[in-house]
Amino acid sequence: MRYVMLPTVWEESVCDLQAAGHERVDDLHDADFLLYTGYWDEFPELPPNIKFVQTAFAGLDALVAGGQLDPSVRWANAAGWYADSVAESTLALLLAVYHGHKYAGQQASFSAAEKLQDATRFLFHDKTVVILGAGGIGERLIEMLAPFNARVIAVNHSGRPVAGAADTVALGGDAGELRTRVWAQADVLVNLLPLTDATRGIVGAELLAQLKGGCVVVNTGRGGTIDTDALVDALESGHLGGAGLDVTDPEPLPDGHRLWELPNVVVTPHTANTVPNMKRVTGKFTAENARLFAEGKKMATEVDVAAQY
């Protein structure tokens, strides 16, 4: 098949696609599909010859907001492609919060040890980790958590059991059951939800209040799924024990924002996955989706346009 790669050509992906028999062209009007590698403010108008769009990112929320998620075109995202890197970064954020790395760095003094003697927590001390939006990244994170012997509760839309989790609960289930069976048990809440109309602001003041006191919130999903003001309030009140955030709302997080200053909050600038890692795997996964498309099958990461992910 012929494809266009916009707005940036990744040579690693070109080589992988060429090895799979696909030809890169320069004009959208000459292509069968588009491999999109950029941010959504540069997304082009699609001519009718484009049969499907493959994005190098998992989230399509900006296209949804802009009304550009054309239902007449088939779409595939990068869901699960970067599970290793995002899961590893999620664990790193959690451990950094638990071990007080931000506080120690802010003190720039060995005297930080006195407070950290009492403040440091350990994941292997009978902790319960709730993974909200437990898909491919969640499954990989569960594997990485296994040596810590933490108890994992998976929460997803379907309630489909997740490998390695002690329990799996449907997000749309009974509110009382979620409160007692999930939120009140959480020593750690990991948010991996995509941003859709249904998930925007879902982790708000009401849900945060139901979490166990001292719970640490880690967000490597989408910033807009957490109400930032409610999160800051819960942190400053002492109800939450800390937060590790790779994504925020707003993003970029402005200089001087309260989250930057809180000693128990670690913020990274949306680098749980990196472009070099994306370039490493995008070509081969795109080639697999193109093969499935050509065979008249559902692509491995095909997007349900109605569900927005």
Positions annotated as catalytic residues are 222, 251, 270
Burial class (CB in 10 A: 0-12, 13-18, 19+), 13: buried
The whole-angstrom separation of Cα 122 and Cα 103 is 16
Residue 116 in tokens? 């950290």
* Nearest Cα residue to 288 out of 301, 276, 277: 301
The whole-angstrom separation of Cα 11 and Cα 135 is 29
CA 104: distance to chain centroid?
27
Contact 132, 193 (CB under 8 A): yes
Residue 35 in tokens? 């491999």
Phi, psi dihedral angles at 33 (to 5 degrees)? -145, 160
Stated length of the chain = 309
**Of all helices (H) and strands (E), which one includes residue 288?**
helix 275-294
70 C-beta neighbours (distance < 10 Å), count: 14
The whole-angstrom separation of Cα 65 and Cα 50 is 22
SS (HEC) of 176-201 = HHHHHHCHHHCCEEEECCCCCCCCCC
The whole-angstrom separation of Cα 267 and Cα 32 is 40
Residue 267 in tokens? 């913020």
Phi, psi dihedral angles at 258 (to 5 degrees)? -55, -30
